[in-house]
Amino acid sequence: MKISEFMNKAYVADGNISLKDAAKLMSDRNIGSLIIMQKNKITGIITERDIMKNISKLGDKIDKIMSKNVITIEKGESIEDAARLMAEKKIKRLPVMGKGELVGIISATDILAHSDDINEDFFFD
């Protein structure tokens, strides 16, 4: 099954907003991460965990706190490929790209929610 069947909408923010504003935006939209973009290029990602680890820096800009060198995956890849990549890189979220543009995001939770659709051999390799 392709990632595009399971991905969710990715929410984007500018790296100049404060950690507090990012936390509010994530809370208001009930999301676990924001993709940071500048000129249609991903420059970082900020997650709930990043916010919790930096709670004392709520006034700081997120570009000082976000994870850089974001790992992405193409929308045509399989859900198994996404799970392998997440496990290998020890990450829980992957921005999904299509033709060089951000088209969504997939999380470990999304994969687990659809584990019945994943090839059984994946789990027993």
Predicted local confidence at residue 1, as pLDDT: 83
Calculate mean pLDDT across residues 58-86: 94
Residue, of 71 and 124, whose pLDDT is higher:
71
What share of the chain in percent tops pLDDT 90?
A: 79
Q: Hey, what domains does the chain have and what are their CATH numbers?
A: 3-123 (3.10.580.10)
- Residue-wise pLDDT tens digits, 32-61: 999 999 988 999 999 999 999 999 998 999
| 3-class secondary structure per residue, 40-71 | CEEEEEEEHHHHHHCHHHCCCEHHHCCECCCC
